[in-house]
């Protein structure tokens, strides 16, 4: 039975919303008339000390008795420069400062909040292109490539204030939707070309259509915020920085499916995201934008928060739904797909955080606008969490079709310490490692799949010459092997066997026949597993064997780790000619007392005691640089 569209009461939702919007506007404008300070307080900022920065600002401003509100905001994406601060003045530049400390806060209050010196020497840049003498953020090379749509509010609004979101256009798409027939909304999403941002890239409009047409009541809307890939933090950042965009997307989905039931399944390791999302829900209820009879219409929608309990496999739709139901999160055979039989066996629409966050802007700006961004098969933008050996770690958003090279070098600022890039790992444990030679691959669903990786949810780890690809494959297999739910034999035992072979190779016990066995076993695991975890678990192995075969062969045939990483295949050695005999740094920091001085006070490592922790190499003063790693261990020069 299709749900009825809401009937009009004497006060239309539009009229009610106009009042809400006026209120939001006056609150926002009152803020804009004063100097005010935005402090990034998402998890990334907090880890870097943002709460100290925030309280120092508050204390300084109280002490000096100034009227300048301090506003906690989310993540601007420039995580490498956290804690981030923006000072906005009504009649002067808005300036962004990075790596702030309690000391620089005092300077900034004195210099720019009270005075008129924008302290450019501490600034990353102005928010607008304002003055040719001042650095500006939009003129940074990265913003030639970046296009922030999904992250459009992140770092600019207080995530705990619904008014900020409304003032920037929030919830107006919901109002538009409430007056639109459901089929038209589905057609609009279809026309936009939006594909699921959870990684698989299924066309969202098609999914919405299937769920809408599915028989069975009630239907459920589920937001998948179980961001389990290690090295991925996009969804967390969105929930912590702009929760209302996700809520609005979910409500629109609820209206389109004609159901009042919504769930969000959030990863348990994200306490701040859960907290801010719950605050946002409460505020939306208070405004009448969520709950019974939304804005006086006869459509009702509720969202329950289900906190995950730490199981990577629960990112898979059927496992996630079992987990909400209070069961072990083990995927089941499909079909039936969740759009027909999902939560409690009812038709369920499950989308990722970024997919829901994209819905309001598509309805607001139109499918045609959205479809004009990106490539033929992949529309819109892609959000990545950029980490590893890259200068500008953080969140980036680029149009689909941007090359990996531009993403890493232009947006990410390249590899630090003049190191050579070796490759990039995309899509977490389900994705693949691509070599430097494939960096001109465009970022889109189809191109990445073609080269053996996948878009995944958006984790991107840059690897340099100091990373061992066999070790990287072993790391991911160790992860999926632990996270396999155990239902399918090939996944449960096959990943264990893959891991055992990789451990053998990284510890010098590999045989050359293992190479074929790895590939054969990997293909069998793909074939013999039910869900995405098993299907994609061998990807890190297959791509590293394909693109970095020489590294495997060095481990197997020469018992040598070319990147000098695998512990069993390396040894630390102090070059006698370089050792400064008076310095004792290495001796003092060795945890196992493996370093002794000889009669000339040159330091020598006792290989039988060395645990290869690397302390000696880290503390050896750079002017001597006497400690090196060699592989294989037999390569240590022997004293005659």
Partner 1 sequence: MKHTSSKKSTERLSHILSHHKPERVELIPILQEVEEEFGYLPREAMLEAANFTQIPASDVFGIATFYNRFRFTPLGKHPVKACMGTACHMVGGALVLDALERELGVKVGDITHDGEFSLDRVACIGCCFLAPVVVIGEDIHPRVTPFKVEEILAGLKERDAGKTAHKD
What is the closest distance, in whole angstroms, from the C-beta atom of residue 439 to partner 1 in the complex? 18
Is residue 58 a contact residue for partner 1 (CB under 8 A)? no
The stretch near partner 1 (CB under 8 A) out of 198-206, 441-449, 502-510, 606-614 is 606-614
Mapped onto helix, strand or coil, the DSSP state of residue 71 is: strand
User: Which one, 394 or 494, has the nearer CB to partner 1?
Assistant: 394
What is the closest distance, in whole angstroms, from the C-beta atom of residue 134 to partner 1 in the complex? 26
Is residue 97 a contact residue for partner 1 (CB under 8 A)? no
Cβ count near 240 (within 10 Å) = 28
DSSP string, 158-215: -TT-HHHHHHTTTTHHHHHHHTS-HHHHHHHHHHHT-B-TTTT--BHHHHHHHHHH--
User: Which one, 79 or 250, has the nearer CB to partner 1?
Assistant: 79
What is the closest distance, in whole angstroms, from the C-beta atom of residue 377 to partner 1 in the complex? 28
Edge-to-edge strand ranges of the sheet holding 394-399: 394-399, 381-388, 459-464, 421-426, 432-435
For residues 510 and 557, the answer to whether their CB atoms sit within 8 Å is: no
- Considering only 24, 70, 79, 470, the residue that binds partner 1 (CB under 8 A) is 79
How far apart, in whole angstroms, are the C-alpha atoms of residue 342 and residue 321? 7
Is residue 622 a contact residue for partner 1 (CB under 8 A)? no
Is residue 461 a contact residue for partner 1 (CB under 8 A)? yes
DSSP state of 313: G
Mapped onto helix, strand or coil, the DSSP state of residue 374 is: strand
For residues 569 and 507, the answer to whether their CB atoms sit within 8 Å is: yes
- Considering only 118, 170, 193, 228, the residue that binds partner 1 (CB under 8 A) is 228
Question: Of residues 301-330, which lie at the interface with partner 1 (CB under 8 A)?
Answer: 306-312, 323-329
Is residue 270 a contact residue for partner 1 (CB under 8 A)? yes
Is residue 479 a contact residue for partner 1 (CB under 8 A)? yes
Is residue 56 a contact residue for partner 1 (CB under 8 A)? no
For residues 435 and 547, the answer to whether their CB atoms sit within 8 Å is: yes
Question: Which residues are CB-contacts of 35 (< 8 A; sequence separation ≥ 6)?
Answer: 66, 68, 87, 88, 89, 90, 113
Is residue 398 a contact residue for partner 1 (CB under 8 A)? no
Is residue 625 a contact residue for partner 1 (CB under 8 A)? no
How far apart, in whole angstroms, are the C-alpha atoms of residue 30 and residue 52? 26
User: Which pair of tokens denotes residue 12?
Assistant: 């239309």
What is the closest distance, in whole angstroms, from the C-beta atom of residue 533 to partner 1 in the complex? 14
User: Which one, 11 or 618, has the nearer CB to partner 1?
Assistant: 618
- Considering only 60, 82, 146, 248, the residue that binds partner 1 (CB under 8 A) is 82
Is residue 428 a contact residue for partner 1 (CB under 8 A)? yes
Query: Where do runs of H (alpha helix) occur along 99-160?
Result: 102-108, 142-145
Is residue 589 a contact residue for partner 1 (CB under 8 A)? yes
The CA angle 516-558-620, to the nearest 5 degrees, is: 125
- Considering only 348, 375, 615, 631, the residue that binds partner 1 (CB under 8 A) is 615
The stretch near partner 1 (CB under 8 A) out of 19-27, 38-46, 246-254, 512-520 is 38-46
Nearest alpha-carbon partner for 485 in 225, 310, 342, 311: 311
What is the closest distance, in whole angstroms, from the C-beta atom of residue 477 to partner 1 in the complex? 12
Is residue 543 a contact residue for partner 1 (CB under 8 A)? no
User: Which pair of tokens denotes residue 599?
Assistant: 């009669």
Binding region for partner 1 (CB under 8 A): 43-44, 46-48, 79-80, 82, 228-233, 236, 268-270, 306-312, 323-329, 385, 387-389, 393-394, 425, 428, 459, 461, 463, 467, 472, 475-476, 479, 485, 589, 591, 611-615, 618-619
């Amino acid at each position: 039975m299709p749900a009825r569209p809401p009937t009009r009461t004497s006060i239309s939702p539009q009229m009610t919303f106009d009042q809400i919007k006026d209120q939001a506007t006056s609150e926002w404008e009152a803020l804009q008339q004063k100097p005010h300070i935005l402090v990034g307080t998402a998890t990334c900022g907090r880890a870097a000390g943002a709460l100290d920065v925030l309280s120092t600002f508050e204390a300084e401003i109280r002490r000096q008795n100034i009227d300048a509100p301090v506003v906690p905001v989310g993540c601007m994406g420039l995580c490498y420069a956290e804690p981030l601060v923006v000072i906005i003045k009504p009649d002067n530049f808005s300036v962004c400062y990075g790596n702030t400390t309690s000391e620089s806060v005092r300077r900034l209050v004195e210099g720019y909040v009270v005075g008129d010196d924008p302290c450019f020497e501490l600034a990353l840049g102005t928010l607008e292109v304002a003055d040719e003498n001042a650095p500006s953020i939009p003129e940074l090379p990265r913003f030639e490539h970046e296009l922030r749509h999904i992250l459009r509010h992140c770092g600019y609004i207080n995530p705990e204030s619904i008014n900020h979101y409304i003032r920037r256009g929030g919830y107006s798409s919901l109002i538009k939707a409430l007056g639109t027939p459901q089929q038209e909304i589905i057609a609009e999403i279809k026309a936009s070309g939006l594909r699921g941002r959870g990684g698989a890239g299924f066309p969202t409009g098609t999914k919405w259509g299937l769920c809408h047409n599915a028989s069975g009541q009630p239907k459920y809307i589920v937001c998948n915020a179980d961001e389990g890939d290690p090295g991925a933090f996009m969804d967390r950042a969105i929930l912590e920085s702009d929760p209302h965009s996700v809520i609005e997307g979910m409500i629109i989905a609820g209206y389109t499916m004609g159901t009042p039931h919504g769930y969000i399944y959030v990863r348990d390791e994200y306490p701040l995201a859960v907290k801010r999302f719950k605050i946002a829900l409460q505020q939306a209820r208070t405004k009448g934008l969520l709950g019974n009879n939304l804005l006086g219409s006869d459509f009702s929608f509720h969202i329950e928060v289900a906190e995950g309990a730490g199981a990577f496999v629960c990112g898979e739709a059927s496992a996630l739904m079992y987990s909400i139901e209070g069961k072990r999160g083990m995927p089941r055979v499909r079909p039936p797909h969740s759009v027909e039989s999902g939560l409690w066996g009812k038709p369920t629409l499950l989308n990722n955080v970024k997919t829901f966050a994209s819905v309001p802007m598509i309805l607001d700006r139109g499918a045609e606008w959205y479809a004009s961004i990106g490539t033929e098969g992949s529309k819109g933008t892609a959000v990545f969490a950029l980490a590893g050996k890259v200068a500008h770690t953080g969140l980036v958003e680029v149009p689909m079709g941007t090359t990996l090279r531009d993403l890493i070098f232009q947006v990410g600022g390249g590899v630090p310490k003049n190191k050579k890039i070796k490759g990039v790992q995309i899509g977490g444990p389900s994705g693949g490692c691509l070599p430097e030679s494939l960096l001109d691959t465009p970022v889109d669903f189809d191109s990445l799949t073609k080269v053996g990786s996948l878009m995944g949810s958006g984790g991107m780890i840059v690897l340099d010459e100091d990373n061992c690809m066999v070790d990287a494959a072993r790391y991911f297999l160790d992860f999926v092997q632990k996270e396999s739910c155990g239902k399918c034999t090939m996944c449960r035992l096959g990943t264990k066997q893959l891991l055992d072979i990789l451990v053998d190779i990284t510890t010098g016990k590999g045989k050359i026949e293992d190479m074929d066995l790895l590939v054969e076993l990997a293909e069998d695991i793909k074939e013999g597993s039910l869900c995405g975890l098993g299907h994609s678990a061998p990807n890190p192995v297959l791509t590293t064997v394909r693109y970095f075969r020489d590294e495997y062969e060095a481990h197997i045939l020469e018992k040598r780790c070319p990147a000098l990483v695998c512990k069993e295949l390396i040894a630390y050695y102090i070059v006698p000619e370089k050792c400064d005999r008076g310095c004792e740094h290495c001796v003092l920091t060795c945890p196992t007392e493996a370093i002794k001085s000889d009669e000339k006070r040159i330091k020598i490592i006792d290989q039988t005691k060395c645990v290869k922790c690397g302390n000696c190499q880290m503390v050896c003063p750079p002017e001597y640089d006497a400690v090196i790693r060699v592989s294989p261990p037999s390569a240590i020069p022997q004293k005659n």
